[in-house]
A = this chain, B = another copy of it.
Amino acid sequence: MTPLQQARQAAVDARARYRAGLVAPSAGQAPGLTQANMITLPREWAYDFLLFAQRNPQACPVLDVTEPGSYSTFLAEGADLRTDLPAYRVWRDGQLAEEVSDVREHWAQHDDLVSFLIGCSFTFEADLINAGIDVRHISQGCNVPMYRTNKLCRPAGRLHGEMVVSMRPIAAERVADAARITARYPGVHGAPVHVGEPALLGIDDLTRPDFGDAVTLKPGEIPVFWACGVTPQAVVMASKVPFAISHAPGHMFITDIADSYYHV
Residues of A within 8 A of B (CB): 46-47, 50-51, 54-55, 62, 65, 183-184, 186-187, 190, 264
Contact = CB atoms under 8 A, between A and B. Distances in A.
Nearest to A55: B65
A55 B50 CA distance: 12
A238 to B, nearest CB: 20
18 contacts: A46-B47, A47-B47, A47-B50, A50-B50, A50-B51, A50-B54, A51-B65, A54-B62, A54-B65, A55-B65, A183-B264, A184-B184, A184-B264, A186-B186, A186-B187, A186-B264, A190-B264, A264-B264
A264 B190 CA distance: 9
Interface of chain A: mostly helix, strand, loop or mixed: helix
Nearest to A190: B264
A176 to B, nearest CB: 16
A46 B187 CA distance: 22
How many chain copies?
2
A205 to B, nearest CB: 33
A229 to B, nearest CB: 16
Given A51-B65, A186-B187, 14 more contacts: A46-B47, A47-B47, A47-B50, A50-B50, A50-B51, A50-B54, A54-B62, A55-B65, A183-B264, A184-B184, A184-B264, A186-B264, A190-B264, A264-B264
Contacts of A54: 50, 62, 65
A103 to B, nearest CB: 23
Contacts of A264: 183-184, 186, 190, 264
Nearest to A183: B264
- By Cβ-Cβ distance, the 7 closest A-B pairs, closest first, are A47-B47, A264-B264, A50-B50, A54-B62, A186-B264, A183-B264, A51-B65
Contacts of A50: 47, 50-51, 54
A47 B65 CA distance: 12
Contacts of A55: 65
A46 B48 CA distance: 10
Contacts of A62: 54
A186 B183 CA distance: 12
Nearest to A187: B186
A187 B54 CA distance: 12
